[in-house]
Every structure is written in structure tokens, then in C-alpha cells.
Structure 1
Amino acid sequence: MNRRKTAAIAGVAALGLGLAACAGGGSTGSSGGDENTVTFRSWSPIEQTTQQMVDAFETANPGTTIEATIFNYPEYLVDLQTRASSNTFPDIVGLQPGALTQQYRSNLMPLQDCAASVWGEDWQSKFYPIGIEQARAGNPEGDENFYSLPILVQTVNLWANTELFDAAGATIPTTWDELKATVGQLSGGDYAPFMLPAKDGWLRNAVFLQIVNNVNPGLVYQAESGEDSWTNPDIVTALEYWGKLFTDGIAQEGAIGLDAYPSGANQFEAGNAAMIPLGAWWIQQSDPTKDQSEIPPLSQGMAGFEPFLFPTIPGGADESQFVGGIDVALGISKDAANPDLACKVLTDWIAGEGGQKLVDTMNDVPAVAGLEPSTFTSDKQEAIWNTFVNDWLPQVKYSRYFDDPKVDQAVADALAAVATGAQTPEEAAAAIQAVSDEVNG
């Protein structure tokens, strides 16, 4: 989700994995009420990217200071909740659409006036449509405000280590049966054929949304809204196939205890797995702005990696569906000490000099059309970038997020229960339905 890379908890000198939405301000805010200082907390983009974005803005705006603190994703969620409850919300905060934005909607100011003041009344046309569509996900009926604006968009998908595939004579699987066969073909070595970092709720949900949309495209969102039921047999089937990742030996032993960042990502980049479910943001490993000698061999120009879509499910859709949308969005605190300055930072990081720095590092796909990296370090890297921007992103129809935070957590909990055998797929579906009934009244 953007994303959830390792990052330092630090100030301006150690900015990491996230983009922001604003909050805080006043004498109780983390900026201490200084109108020339903007505070920023998030989990994404990665450290060197955020630092370049901050430097670009401060250079162009002398006298302005951006104080940034970047966390690993789970720690960021805890920090954000703590600051919301203690009236120390940052000026700008990193958000995801739907559940996370809605959780803090009361702390955020509407952003459409900010956007119009910088880009004009037709500002929405600058963005990829899926970003605009998802930016208001979960808003109460009749509320057309934008409480966050996307800075990066993405697909969620799988990645293959092409060196391991080539050595085994394996091909990228496109169906569930091919996935099982490929895992068998890749077994027996000193690496995991399919590494599943299932400890993280966000990743469990992202994988499940690929599965369920391959079973019955769009059904899961109808269940969330109350138009259909979570106990619909097709959703139960999707939960069964999630469980098969564990019971059929596709995922590695101990998958439920492995986090995506830093553990899973580090192992995959080191060549210890042939496949992993992540997303478009993995291209950031090949950052053209870094000293290329410092990049692991597999990531240099994306030499050892290839993205592919989650395989189709028997009896489901004929083709793999595209799931994704907003990676990271930015919001501004309704109590920001200087909302105009916060707006200036936010819009610069989306589509200005800061936005260009962001794209140059390939942190993910930009939320606005027309931005592209200044440099590519290999033909393969450029081809993968073009796959995301030109081929996949325009086809993204289904969100990788749920709108309501309670439903989001209920799904993550149910998937963990199925993975460990604590619940059957039918029991898990009923548990989610109970929470959905509460949410939908």
C-alpha cells in the first residue's frame, strides 16, 4: 500500500515510506503553531524519496521547514491514532482511501478548494480516474468532499524472480492449477516457491481481494455495502481458496508469522523466494536516483523481477481482474497552523517539483497523468513501468481497500482465522457478515 517498506522513525533527516495528509497545528500541534513549519507523518514514500521531496520544496521556498517523521506501516497506524486522540495531529498525514481516511475524517479539512486554487476548476482531470473515484470512498451519503488526494496509485499483483523461474524452466502461472504445478516445480531448493507474508492484515486483504474478484468480479463490494451477503457462496469459495494457499502447501511454512516489511521484502530481494504478492510499488527497489552499486543485483534495473496478475480461479472469471487504485494519499489537518502552506506542500508533492522527485525514484505510479521518470536504467525497467502506466492502471476497476474500518478489520481477522484453521470459510464469512450488519444498520 505504498508502501510498507522499512523506514526510520526520525525527523527531516530520516524521511521514509510515506506521503502525507495534514493535521495538527495550533499550540498543541506537532508544529507548535509555527506558520512557517509544516509537520508530516506517514509510512511512505521511502526515505530517500521523501528527503528529495522535502529538499526540493524547502529550496524553492526559503524560510519554510518541513518536519517529517516516517514509520513502518503498523507503527504509523498506532502513532496516528495516538496523535488523533491527544490533539497533536500533524499538518500533513499519509492516508489510504476508504477505511483509513474515514477513520480520521473528523480530523481532516476538505481539499477541493485547495486543489482548485492551484490547478483550476477542472483539477480532477489531472488525475487518473481511479484515484478520483477512490478518494471519496466511504464518505457519508451526500458528502462530496475530498478529505485526501492521491499522490501515488498502483496495482496489487504478484512478482516473480525470473532468475529462479528460468533456472527451473518454469513459466509464469495464469491459472490456479498452474500456480500449484509451478510451486511443485520450484520446490526442493533453498528458497520458498511462493512467499506469503500473511502476518499483515493489509496484505491478507490485498491478496483476498485479488482472489475474490477473480471468483466473482465486484461481488465483495456489494457485500460490503449490504446489497449482497458475505455468506454468498462465491465469497465463501474465495475464502476457501485463500485457505488453500496454506492447506495445499502453496505458501511457505509459518506464513502467518511473516511480515511483508521488512522481512518478506528483504528475503525476496535477496533471492530467497520465487514469487511474492506485493504490488506496483516494488519497482522502487530499482530507484534510478540511487548509486546503482548499492542496489541488490536482482533489483538493478528490475533485472531479476517480473510482475504478473493473480491466477484465475476455477469456475470464476475467464481472465485475471485488475485490483488496485490509490497507494498513498495526502490529507491536511483541519487544525493546521498554516493551511495555505500545507496546501502548497501537498500540491507540489502531487504534481510539482516534489512530485517529479517522487516519480524519479519510481516510488510507485504517479496519481496524475503525464509524469514519468527522468531516467530509466534498463530497458526492462522501462518496460515494466510502461506495463503499469499504460496497460494495467487504466484497467483497474476494483479497489484494494474496504470503505469501512470495521469491515476492513473484520476481513483481516477472518482471513487470519482461516489461515490458522481457527475458522472454516463458512464461519469466517458469517463473522464478517455480523460486522457488516452492524455497520450497515
Structure 2
Amino acid sequence: MSRSTRRRGRLLVAAAAAAVAALSITACSSGGSPAADDPADSGTLDWWGFSPNVTVANDLIAEFNKEYPDITVNYKFYPNNTEYPAALRAGLASNEGPDLFNLATNAAAPVDQFGSFAVDLAPAYEAALGADWKDKVSPLAIDSFTLENGSLAAASLGYVSAGLLYINQDLFDQYGLTPPTTLDEWKQVCATFTANGVECFTVGAGTAAFNMDPLHSIANSLHPGDWQKASEGEISWNDDWFIDTLQAWSDLRADGIMQDGALGLQQYPDANNEFLQEKAAMVQMGTWYNGNLLAGNMTAAMEGAGVANPEPFTMVPIAFPDFTNKGEPGALFSDVDSAIAVNKKSDSINAATTFAMWLATSETGQQDIANRLELLPDSGALPDFSAIDLVNPEVQQPVLEAFAPLTQAATDEARFRLIKPNLYEALGAASTAVLEGTSPADAAASVQAAADEDRNS
């Protein structure tokens, strides 16, 4: 069965209850005894996470409670990913930690570090979807959260794709501009915006981790496939392909695309706020940013960015411009944004599993996630545009529909999941070093040294 066929499969609303019925046979409470007295349809759960945001999480919980009114879920949101790992480490080590917690393929909550604290959810998936459950779940979700012992540590809520820019279509229309498809067009667009006192492309280059997305996008344009090959250890990071990428990244400032003060800004909140304040016409984000296409979300986001009496503007995603000037965009790249794990120490393992499986496998849960636009559901569910309120449906809906097959096909190339800790830090450091004057060749050499350290550790 092909991947596209697998992803189109529809899932059962009753999946969560069936999953828990099977899991309760083997699950243990914090005391280590079988969870026979641990109800699957009632209880109070604490969920810790960095995604989704509080509004979306509470909406999902409210939908869940329509089917499971006796399960209370309290969501503790960590907006700063640097705070979450420390809090989670302490919580999981104690007996007072969360019942449910987010895991990730990046530094926010690495599955390699925290997966051992999680209940194996493979039996729950099999109970929910049948013996062929792996054919009904994105391989990206399975591969990302399966531990060396074969345990599935978390249930993916959906994945995100990157390699996109988001533009303020209203500003483009105001100045009669067309979204750029090539580097030369990008330079021309930025020249027009700058001449009119509008920042073109806001970059929070001080957030080293976020710099990996434009670096990856540039590499996929100049040297397709080489980033993935280097991530897998097949080629070196200090070869010409990456030196070219770092040079092109550094040149964005000289070309008038990246602002001079980019190194003094963080992607969140600085670049995000500049874009939402309509001070900048473009920002690089991934599909998680699609939530701002919803009128209510855009209004709240603008208010959060300090805009008084906000009037939502028309935002749309576009492909990252082609640096070979042929107008052929590079491949997108994807990772599971966050997955939900059940704590082995929880006194409510079965109820926690009910919630995790409802989100990950039920038709209702996956459709609700799809309609939030922030995640691409593992089931392949698409947004029901009749049920959502876009800022400008006439413009935005066709764009989202056009990008849907591209993002659904973008699960082969990794965003962060193949990047080991030393390499992760080195890539971030290299991205800022070249903007500070370090030669791309020297920066590339430091990245390869980190990759060698990861391989030898």
C-alpha cells in the first residue's frame, strides 16, 4: 500500500475507547500494579506541553469533553522551549509530574531523553486501528517516536512542514508587487518595500535554531538533497555545498533582504511581532503559522504583538524563492511538531490514554486538529473550510488547497529529527558566526567537527 493511500484512510471515532480497553490489560499504575481500578472514561489529568498554544489546547479539550465529559484535562503551557525540558525533567523524576506530556524530535523535549518515561502506546494504536495500524498512521510519526526497544513513546498530534515564507498580501497589493519566486525577484521586491519605508523580510537571526530553516531552504535550492544527505552522514558539512549555503545566507543582508539588525532579534517574539504589527512584509515560518489565517487567531496574535484595535490582514504562505533564479522551489521538510506521551507514573494511565488516542486516532479529533490549521494530521484529514473562519477566504483558501498536496508529500525530508545535539548547536552557531564575519569555510568546518563528535559519541 502506498504512503498516499495509507494517509487517506479515515479513522474511527471509537478508537480511543477501544485502545484503552486493550491497554488496561497491561498498564500499570504508579504503584506498579495492574490498572484494573484505573478508569478509562473518568479522572483528572495534567498535561504539560509547548504546543499547541493555550487557546487551541483548550478548544481541543472542549471538543474531547463532548465525548468524555468525566475526564478533566488541565493544560500547562510552556511558551519558552528552553524552560520546558528542565521543568519536564524535574517533573518526570518526581511522583508529582504530569499525566501527559509533549515529546518532540528537537531540543524542546527530545524523545531520546524523555521517551523512557512514557507508556508504550503501540498496543493502544493496534486496539484502535487494528493489526494493520501502522498502515494508517504516518511513517513519520512511527519512526520519530519508536525507541530502540520497540516501544512507541508518544502519539503524534500532527506534523509541520517548513521551507515556506509568509507574506502580508495586503502590503504586496498596496505596492503592486507579486510574491517573489526567485532570488532576483526577491531583491527587487525588497528594494520597493525599503524605498517605501516597509521592512521587507524580518529575521530573528539571534534565534540560532530558527536560522536552520532558511539555511535548509537555501541548500535545497542551490544543492537539492545535500542537507538530507549530510544529516544522514552520507556527505560532509564542510563541502562546497554547505559553504555555498552559508555564503548565500550571509549575502541576504548585503542584498537588502535581511535587515541590518537581525542578529539583535529573536524569531519569537521580535520577528513575529514585527510581521504581525505590519512593519514587515515577509517572515519565514512553517505550517504551524497557518493558524494565523483564522480571523480569531489573527486578531489575538496581533493583540499579543501589541497592536491596539487590530484589523486582521491577509496572510498567505509562499514557497521559499529559488536561489538558482529558475523559479523552481526547493523541497519542503517536515517533522512531527509535538506528540503526546503518557507518563508511566500516572495514576490515571487509562484516562490519559483515552485522551491521547482521541487526539491521534479519532476522526473527530483529527478533523478538529485539521481545522485549527496549525498541524497537518497524521490521518491525512484536510480542513473543512465550511467550518472555519478565514480572514480572507477568497484569497487564502485556494492557497491552502494548493499547498496541501505539497505538505502531505513532504514527509521524507527531515527538519530537525536527524540533527544530533552537537550538530544542532553547531549549525546554530555557524548561522550567526557568518553574519558576524566568520568565513563560511571556517563555519562549515566547525559544523563538520560537531557532526564527527556526534558520530563518535
Q: TM-score, normalised by structure 2?
A: 0.78
Letter in 2 for 1:155: S
Letter in 2 for 1:213: N
Q: How far did residue 296 of structure 1 move?
A: 5.9
Q: Does residue 383 of the first structure (1) align with residue 394 of the second (2)?
A: no
Over 3 Å counting, the alpha-carbon distance change for 1:212 and 1:134 in structure 2 is: farther
Of the three residues 142, 146, 155, the one matched with 1:149 is: 155
Q: Which residue of 2 aligns with 1:240?
A: 247
> Where do 1:12-161 residues align within 5 Å?
26=30, 36-74=43-81, 75-84=83-92, 89-97=97-105, 100-136=110-146, 144-156=150-162, 157-161=164-168
> Do 2:367 and 2:381's aligned partners in 1 also have CA atoms closer than 8 Å?
no
Taking the aligned partners of 2:417 and 2:138, their CA distance within structure 1 comes to 20
Q: Which residue of 2 aligns with 1:177?
A: 184
Over 3 Å counting, the alpha-carbon distance change for 1:235 and 1:89 in structure 2 is: farther
Q: Which residue of 2 aligns with 1:432?
A: 447
Over 3 Å counting, the alpha-carbon distance change for 1:334 and 1:242 in structure 2 is: farther
Taking the aligned partners of 1:131 and 1:164, their CA distance within structure 2 comes to 38
Structure 1 stretches of 4+ moved >4 Å: 84-89, 128-136, 291-298, 300-303, 315-318
Over 3 Å counting, the alpha-carbon distance change for 1:236 and 1:315 in structure 2 is: farther
Letter in 2 for 1:80: L
Taking the aligned partners of 1:291 and 1:199, their CA distance within structure 2 comes to 26
Q: Does residue 252 of the first structure (1) align with residue 259 of the second (2)?
A: yes
Q: Which residue of 1 aligns with 2:7?
A: none
Taking the aligned partners of 2:408 and 2:190, their CA distance within structure 1 comes to 28
Report which stretch shifted further, 386-395 or 200-209. 386-395
Taking the aligned partners of 1:418 and 1:302, their CA distance within structure 2 comes to 36
Letter in 2 for 1:425: P
Taking the aligned partners of 2:339 and 2:128, their CA distance within structure 1 comes to 17
SS at match of 2:280: coil
Over 3 Å counting, the alpha-carbon distance change for 1:173 and 1:133 in structure 2 is: farther
Deviation track 1:88-108 (CA, whole Å, cap 9, x = no partner) reads 542222232255222323333
Letter in 2 for 1:91: D
Over 3 Å counting, the alpha-carbon distance change for 1:129 and 1:90 in structure 2 is: same
Letter in 2 for 1:195: T
Letter in 2 for 1:375: A
Q: Which residue of 1 aligns with 2:25?
A: none
Deviation track 1:95-127 (CA, whole Å, cap 9, x = no partner) reads 322552223233333322221122222223333
Over 3 Å counting, the alpha-carbon distance change for 1:83 and 1:207 in structure 2 is: farther
Report which stretch shifted further, 110-119 or 268-277. 110-119
SS at match of 1:359: helix
Taking the aligned partners of 2:142 and 2:387, their CA distance within structure 1 comes to 28
Taking the aligned partners of 2:297 and 2:191, their CA distance within structure 1 comes to 38
Taking the aligned partners of 1:364 and 1:337, their CA distance within structure 2 comes to 30
> Do 1:193 and 1:273's aligned partners in 2 also have CA atoms closer than 8 Å?
yes
Letter in 2 for 1:360: N
Q: Which residue of 2 aligns with 1:215?
A: 222
Q: How far did residue 302 of structure 1 move?
A: 8.0
Taking the aligned partners of 1:194 and 1:345, their CA distance within structure 2 comes to 40
Deviation track 1:135-184 (CA, whole Å, cap 9, x = no partner) reads 55xx65xx544323321222211011112222222222222222222211
Q: Which residue of 2 aligns with 1:372?
A: 383
Q: How far did residue 327 of structure 1 move?
A: 2.4
Report which stretch shifted further, 396-405 or 178-187. 396-405
Q: Does residue 314 of the first structure (1) align with residue 353 of the second (2)?
A: no
Deviation track 1:381-418 (CA, whole Å, cap 9, x = no partner) reads 32233233234322453221143233222212221222
Taking the aligned partners of 1:317 and 1:169, their CA distance within structure 2 comes to 20
> Do 1:214 and 1:317's aligned partners in 2 also have CA atoms closer than 8 Å?
no
Q: Which residue of 2 aligns with 1:418?
A: 434
Q: Does residue 343 of the first structure (1) align with residue 353 of the second (2)?
A: yes
Taking the aligned partners of 1:317 and 1:380, their CA distance within structure 2 comes to 22
Q: How far did residue 70 of structure 1 move?
A: 0.5
> Do 1:155 and 1:388's aligned partners in 2 also have CA atoms closer than 8 Å?
no
Q: Does residue 286 of the first structure (1) align with residue 293 of the second (2)?
A: yes
Taking the aligned partners of 1:439 and 1:328, their CA distance within structure 2 comes to 24
Taking the aligned partners of 1:280 and 1:168, their CA distance within structure 2 comes to 26
> Do 1:199 and 1:260's aligned partners in 2 also have CA atoms closer than 8 Å?
yes
Letter in 1 for 2:444: A
Report which stretch shifted further, 245-254 or 65-74. 245-254
Of the three residues 264, 272, 281, the one matched with 1:274 is: 281
Q: Any stretches of 5+ residues in structure 1 without a counterpart?
A: 1-24, 28-33
Letter in 2 for 1:271: E
Q: How far did residue 187 of structure 1 move?
A: 0.9
Q: Does residue 363 of the first structure (1) align with residue 374 of the second (2)?
A: yes
Report which stretch shifted further, 430-439 or 369-378. 369-378
Over 3 Å counting, the alpha-carbon distance change for 1:26 and 1:264 in structure 2 is: farther
Letter in 1 for 2:98: P
SS at match of 1:431: helix
Letter in 2 for 1:268: F
Letter in 1 for 2:124: C
Q: Which residue of 1 aligns with 2:231?
A: 224
Q: How far did residue 269 of structure 1 move?
A: 2.0
Deviation track 1:324-378 (CA, whole Å, cap 9, x = no partner) reads 2422222223333333222211111224344443333323332222353351432
SS at match of 2:195: coil
% same residue = 24
Q: How far did residue 60 of structure 1 move?
A: 2.7
| Matched positions, count | 406
SS at match of 2:192: helix
Q: CA RMSD in A?
A: 3.2
Over 3 Å counting, the alpha-carbon distance change for 1:317 and 1:437 in structure 2 is: farther
Q: TM-score, normalised by structure 1?
A: 0.81
